[in-house]
């Protein structure tokens, strides 16, 4: 259990991408068979070899109305519907994975509490960032590629 909730990409956004075959930029979704280990942003676990997946450009929602920090990055998801993740627990497949914790304020601007963690205790690291004055949410991101993983509030 955590003192925060974890939010994957919403089922509505995933349904739109899967149905239309287009990402947020209007680019075609790439269909692929997982090699295994691809981080799935739908169910917040690593893909198993042989699973049918999609790779597409995703624009994470930010607090506020408009933000100069809005960006789009590539993410993996299952090609079809899958089980919803436990939003009260840190994703178990990613517990020892170093991540960037990008903090945002209520305007959707990057907050100075933004940091990295080494994977030792990601729950405590997120709790510390969320406790910083003015932080309203944190985006966990892949440390090497910068890809969005999930939102913590």
pLDDT at 65: 85
Helix (H) or strand (E) holding 16: helix 11-20
> Is 109 within 8 Å of 25 (Cβ atoms)?
no
pLDDT at 1: 61
Helix (H) or strand (E) holding 147: none
136-44-97-63 Cα dihedral, nearest 10 degrees: -20
Helix (H) or strand (E) holding 107: none
- Contact partners, residue 27, CB within 8 Å, separation at least 6: 56, 57
Q: What is the pLDDT along the chain (153 residues), one digit of tens a residue?
A: 678 999 999 999 999 999 999 999 999 999 999 999 999 999 999 999 999 999 999 999 999 988 999 999 999 999 999 999 999 999 999 999 999 999 999 999 999 999 999 999 999 999 999 999 999 999 999 999 999 999 999
pLDDT at 80: 97
Residue 131 sits at the vertex; the CA angle it makes with 130 and 136, to the nearest 5 degrees, is: 45
Q: What is the pTM of this model?
A: 0.94
């Amino acid at each position: 259990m955590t003192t925060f909730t974890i939010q994957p990409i919403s089922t509505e956004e995933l349904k739109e991408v899967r149905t239309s075959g287009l990402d947020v930029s209007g680019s075609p979704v790439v269909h692929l068979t997982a090699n295994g280990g691809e981080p799935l942003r739908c169910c917040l676990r690593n893909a198993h070899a042989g699973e049918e997946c999609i790779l597409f450009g995703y624009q994470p929602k930010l607090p506020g109305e408009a933000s100069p920090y809005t960006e789009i990055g590539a993410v993996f998801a299952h090609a079809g519907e899958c089980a919803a993740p436990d939003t009260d627990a840190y994703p178990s497949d990613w517990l020892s994975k170093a991540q960037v914790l990008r903090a945002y304020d209520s305007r959707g601007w990057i907050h100075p509490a933004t940091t990295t963690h080494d994977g030792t205790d990601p729950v405590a690291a997120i709790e510390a960032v969320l406790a910083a004055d003015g932080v309203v949410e944190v985006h966990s991101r892949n440390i090497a590629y910068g890809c969005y993983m999930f939102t913590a509030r």
